Amino acid sequence: MSTLSIPSGSYRSPASLALTTRLRRAVFHLFHAVGSAGVAVWSGIGRSLELREVEPTNAEELLEYAGRFEKTQPSYAADLRAAALRYME
């Protein structure tokens, strides 16, 4: 049989190690906060620089608009074309 001995009391790391750990955490949180704020600002700038899409106002514009979605959303493009052709009749 073997015995397992568990020390009594609590373990405390040396003061220098604890200070280093706290500094690492503080630097990590600082970089995380700055990075998150930077991403938010950058995405806001990107959205404001985007060309504002104008919604189609007539059947011809709706057909052109449908062409933009042909590759990524073919069923949506087909619905737009059907609406435009129905309007043209």
43-82 residue pLDDT tens: 666 555 555 567 888 989 999 989 888 889 999 999 999 9
Average pLDDT, the chain: 78
- Locate 62 and state its tokens: 């709706």
For residues 24 and 29, what is the distance between their CA atoms, to the nearest angstrom? 9
Percent over 90 (pLDDT), the chain: 15
Residues of 67-83 as b/e, b for ≥16 C-beta within 10 angstroms?
eebeeeeeeebeebbee
- Locate 42 and state its tokens: 């950058």
**Rounded to two decimals, what is the model's pTM?**
0.42
